[in-house]
Every structure is written in C-alpha cells, then in structure tokens.
A and B are shown apart, each in its own frame.
Chain A
Amino acid sequence: MIWRGLKILALIGLVVVMLAPLAQSILLSFMSTLPRNDMAVGTFTLLNYRNLFADPALIGSLWTSLTYVSLNIVICLTAGLPAAYAISRFSFVGDRHFLLMLLVFRITPPVVLSLPVFLLFSKLNLLNNPLGIALVHCLFNVPVTIWILESFISSVPKEFDEAAFLDGYSTPVFFVKFLLPIITPGIAVAAFFCFIFSWVEVVLARILTSTGGKPISMAIQSLFGFQTDVGLVMAVTILSLLPGVFLIFLVRNHIAKGFQLRI
C-alpha cells in the first residue's frame, strides 16, 4: 500500500517536472513583457498571439517548416519501406555493411557535415528551398525509418507475402495493397520519429536557409535583438510545438512499440 502511494507520488512528481518549463513558457506567452504605454508589464493579454498572427513572416516560416518536414517524411518512407522489407526478409551480400552504414550516418554530427552540405546544395540549387532541408534530414531519418519499419515488418509472418506473390501480385503492388495496410501503426511511428527529428534540427536547417525561406526555429531566433519581446518569443515557441503535440497524441498508443537497433 505504501509502495503504491510512493509510486503515484513519483509519477506526479515526474509529470510536474516535465511540464513546469513548458508551463512557464505558456504563462509568458499570455503576458505583456515589454513596457507599453497602455499596459503594465506582467498583464494578462492575448496581444502576443495577435502580433504573431499579424506577422506574415512568422506564419510563412511555420508553413516552410511544415513543408520540408512533410516532404522529408514522404521521402524517408518511400526509400525506407523497400529497404526495411529487404533486410527483414532476405540476407544478401553486404547486408551487415548496409546496417552499419545506417548506424554511422544516424550518429554523424550534423555540425561536421554542415559546411560541405552547404557547398554541395548551392551547386544543386537547393538553397533556401524546403526540398533541400527535406533531403539533408534524410541523413538521420532514413536509418530511423528503416529500423522502425523493419521491426514491424518482421512481426508479419512470411506466409503473408508468399500468399500474395502466389496470387500473382508484383512486389510494388504487394507493398501498396497488402503490406502498407497491415503495418499502418509502423508507418505512423516512423512518420512520428521523422517528424520530431526533422522538426527540431537546427544546424543544417540554418545553414541551408541563411538568406531566405527560414524555418520556424530560425524565425524565432531572429526575434532576439536589442529589446527582445519575450512574450512574443514564447508565443511563437508554443505555436511551434502544436503540430508535434498533435502528432504525439495520434501515435501515443503505438510509440510504446518503439524501435530496436539492428546491427
């Protein structure tokens, strides 16, 4: 009984600690934080959110971020699904090396690659372009997608594909019509992890958008200046969390399956 009480107390403590810094930001986002003529500092107000929605640059940057993250999810799933299927079902020459390569690129620090990526993408005309960021984020998201999808595909019995192939379906048709529906939770989890890793990444996103088409994270950075409106900064931060929170809510019962490293 005491044990159970302690457990509940620990859980409450955990929830408080996890939420407190965010609660602080929410609080500030509804507060006037700059000295204004008609309002004392600390007054409750919706002004920050009004200012935010009145600023087309901020709203535009939110769309930029959503665009490249969605593109990244589509690219990672398209390239990752067949690869995950291959390593789940077959052994082939170099399969261990392929898995090692995934690990290596997942852990390569973005700051190491930021300079050559910038030069390469300026040659390819992919600067200030959401597609550029979507491509470069594949560096760490393709490995994650493959690891997740592989564990979901491996839990589908082999007889399932054999039956489809016996019925005369080709591999691409099999992927779309049979495999995709049965591993939908896996697709959702993979998309979720692609989303968060791409949404939060700053180093590569910054260097690829140094002159325009800024993502939301960089738009927030540019609000800092001689007299920073902390309330507005926090309002934009809270707005930038909403898509992620929505996705977490959608996959909350599936992320428990998580993913395992394959090496």
Chain B
Amino acid sequence: MKQQRNAAWWQVLPAVALLGLVGFIPLVAVFNYSFFDIFTLDSRFWVGTEWYAALVGTPDLYAALGRSLLFTTLVLMIQLPLGVGIALLIPQNTFAKGTILMILALPLVVPWNMIPIIWLGFINTNYGLLGQMLEAMGWNFDYKFTALHTWILIVAMDTWHWVGLVAILANSGLSMVPQTYYLAAKIDGAGSWAVFRYIQLPKLQGVLTMALILRVTDSMMIYTEAFGINAGGPDNATSFLSLELGEDIAAFDYGPAAARSVVYFLIVLLVAWVLQVSSRRHIRGPL
C-alpha cells in the first residue's frame, strides 16, 4: 500500500507546468480559434459553430475517417501479432539478443520525413533493390496511380518502421516471466501453445496495452510518412485524417483547421479512453 502524501504534488509540479505550457495552453487556443474566421490574427470574426457544422456536414470527413480506421485496423492486425512473434523468436543469449534488438530499433531513429524517401529509393525501378526485384518478377508495381499498390507500400513501410517497437516492448514483457514458471510448465508437460497462452500472454498484457495505445493513436494520425509517399493520392485514396488537416493549415484556413483539430483531438481522446477502460476491466476481470 502506498503512503498517502499530498505534499508529493510539489514533485509533480514541474512536469505539470511544462505540459501546461506546451500542451494545455495550445489546446485551449485551438479551441478558441475554432469559433473564429481568421484573416490575420488581428482581424478575426466570431462565426460560432459554423466551421463545425461545415466539417460535420461534408462526406469528406467520414471518408477520411473510414480510410484512417481501415489503415489502423490493418496496422494492428499485422504489427501486433508479428511483433509478438518476433519477440518470441529472439534468442536468450545476451549477445544475440542485443544485436537483434539493435537491428529492430534502427528504423525508429530515422527522421519521419526520411522514411518515405528511403522507401521510394528502395522500390525505384531504376536502381532500387526491391524495385528491380519486383520488375524482374514481372510485377508492375505502380504506387503512383494504383490505389491498392499505394496502400501496400504505405502499410509495408509502416510495418518496417514500427514493428520493432512492438517487438521490443513485447520482449520486455517476456523477460519478466520468471524462469521457474517455464520449469513448472515443463514438469506438467505443457505444450508451447499452452506456455504462450497461460504463462507468456498474461505477462504481456501491460506492455501490449502500451503498444496498442501507441500504435492506434500514431497510425490514426499518420501524416509525414503517408504524405511523403503520394501526397494522399491517387485520387485521395490514401488521404488520411491528418493529411486533410495539413492541407487546411497549408492553405492558411486557420478557422476550419482549428475546428478540424478539435474534432480530431476528440476522436483520439475517445479511442484512448475506450482502450483505457477496456484494458482496466480486462486486467481486473479474471481476479
């Protein structure tokens, strides 16, 4: 049982002040702007909920939301099982483990605007390793004009980028399983599926919730990487939520951009809340 001590507030105060400055104040400001028509910051006019009405009234928003949800679903279905699978494969020996974890972490240190550049080089038909291979196999991979191919490219790129994080987190969960559990399972004659289901998976719950929340929110709001591949094309087929917001900001439509920001923030908040509530219930459930 933790000690009750309200004086501990002094210790969280610096963190709260920092987040207030760079998080809370901008959020309030964006909420405020969303009710104005902004020409310059000095001349702006109250328009009430006009931007919200316009935003909610267009099919555009729902189409982008649908695309983002589809993308997030694909990302989760591929990256979570794959990440856990990789974590299970990682050998126990310190040197091999360190090396594999290092390789898995490499894509994480690439600046996000470089990720599409690296991949476009990789699939370039003139000099790219994968591009030449696909051409030799006779597959005409056309990410510029074929929507399905653009999707495949973005999902593959995102998987390359992030599966390492899922695997690293899953590996950290696995390393919390005491060796005696495995020994006990062996004595009881448990198969590898039973070991995974009843020993490893429960220990993975905490880290997988973390991975799930990070992957859901980051993939819902993917911007830099997806924009770099095909700027939302072909024909808006990969125009996700954030890309549309980016266009508003680039066009200096501050009022509508602010309204869109508020709506997106609420969507992300809702998703996080659902995940939090369901993960808490799940953890408490069997007890």
Contacts and interface: CB of A to CB of B under 8 A. Distances in A.
Contact of A24 (B2, B25, B33, B129): B129
B86 interface: yes
Contacts of B15: 79-80, 82-83, 142, 146
B81 interface: no
A255 B224 CA distance: 26
A200 B272 contact: no
B276 to A, nearest CB: 5
B233 interface: no
A25 interface: yes
B108 interface: yes
A252 B30 contact: no
A25 B279 CA distance: 40
B168 A116 contact: no
Given A146-B15, A200-B110, A256-B97, A104 B272 contact: yes
Interface residues of A: mostly helix, strand, loop or mixed? helix
A260 B261 contact: no
Contacts of B121: 21, 24-25, 28, 230, 234
B245 interface: yes
Interface stretch (A49-57, A180-188, A236-244): A236-244
A22 interface: yes
Contacts of A17: 160
A258 to B, nearest CB: 3
A119 B252 CA distance: 13
A177 interface: no
Interface string A1-23: 00000010011001101111111
A14 B245 CA distance: 35
B26 A255 contact: no
Given A21-B122, A90-B8, A142-B19, A237 B114 contact: yes
A212 B114 CA distance: 20
Interface residues of B: mostly helix, strand, loop or mixed? helix
B168 A258 contact: yes
B99 to A, nearest CB: 8
B43 interface: no
A31 to B, nearest CB: 8
A248 B168 CA distance: 12
Interface in B129-144: 129-130
> Size band of the B side of the interface?
35 or more
B64 to A, nearest CB: 13
Nearest to A105: B23
Nearest to A101: B19
A66 to B, nearest CB: 13
A237 B114 CA distance: 7
Contacts of B109: 195-196, 199-200, 241, 243-245, 247-248
A11 B88 CA distance: 11
B86 A83 contact: no
A199 B16 contact: no
B89 A109 contact: no
A62 to B, nearest CB: 12
A112 B224 CA distance: 13
Contacts of A21: 118-119, 121-122, 130, 160
A203 B223 contact: yes
A196 B168 CA distance: 14
- Which one of B9, B30, B111 has the greatest number of beta carbons of chain A within 10 Å? B111
A183 B8 CA distance: 20
A255 B90 CA distance: 14
Interface string A86-124: 110111111100101111110111011111110110000
Contacts of B113: 202, 217-218, 220-221
Contacts of A91: 2-5
Contacts of A135: 18, 21-22
Nearest to B262: A112
B230 interface: no
Interface stretch (B50-58, B177-185, B263-271): B263-271
Interface of A: 7, 10-11, 14-15, 17-25, 27-28, 31, 42, 75, 78-80, 82-83, 85-87, 89-95, 98, 100-105, 107-109, 111-117, 119-120, 135-136, 138-139, 142, 146, 171, 195-196, 199-203, 216-218, 220-221, 230, 233-234, 237, 240-241, 243-245, 247-249, 252-253, 255-261, 263
16 contacts: A24-B118, A24-B129, A42-B127, A93-B6, A98-B16, A102-B19, A109-B268, A111-B261, A116-B26, A120-B29, A139-B23, A200-B112, A249-B102, A252-B101, A255-B105, A256-B175
